[in-house]
Amino acid sequence: MAEEIVLETKSDEAPGVVQRIYEVGYHIVPTVLEDNLEAVVGAIRSVIEKAGGTFISEGAPTLMKLSYLMTHREEDKNVEYDRGFFGWIKFEAPTAASALLDNALKNDKNILRFIIFRTVREETRARMKISTLREVRRSDTIKTAPRRAEESAEPVSEEDLDKALETLTTD
């Protein structure tokens, strides 16, 4: 059986407080104006800071098409969205910070959906590989395929098409 490795550090500020690495991914409703996105993300950051967290890295929210419709409760009705601003923040914080952040994001009307999970400090995102291009020499020539006998340059009349369709569908 494999052992689970948990990275924990003791905080210098308070003895006995365990610090862990977390990442929060979130979707902001698309009705928020792009000028106001920073205020919504700032509210998330302030909850993390108040809980004693320090930031490691961050991905700014960008508008993206969602894989499926997501329902969000707005006042007295449910609204479905097919787009949302996705962003993420990786941070180090005491273990109690994740519960505080979870509660704050549940109560934020601008957050469509979110997830908080423990992770590691190192960069874990997959790197994009750029495919190598095939080199073409100038002496190479492109050969065209010979025309099939069935193909002709003459236009086909509608009567011939109707007859061909009748023979195909009556069999």
**What is the predicted pLDDT for the residue at 136?**
54
Which position has the higher pLDDT, 18 or 26?
A: 26
Number of Cβ within a 10 Å radius of residue 44: 23
pLDDT tens-digit readout, 74-86: 888 988 999 999 9
pTM: 0.62
Crossing angle of helices 37-50 and 96-106, in 10° steps, is 150
Domain residue extents for the chain: 16-118
What CATH architecture does domain 16-118 belong to? 2-Layer Sandwich (3.30)
**What is the predicted pLDDT for the residue at 129?**
63
pLDDT tens-digit readout, 35-63: 899 999 999 999 999 999 999 998 899 99
Q: Which one, of 66, 156, 160, lies nearest residue 112 by Cα? A: 66
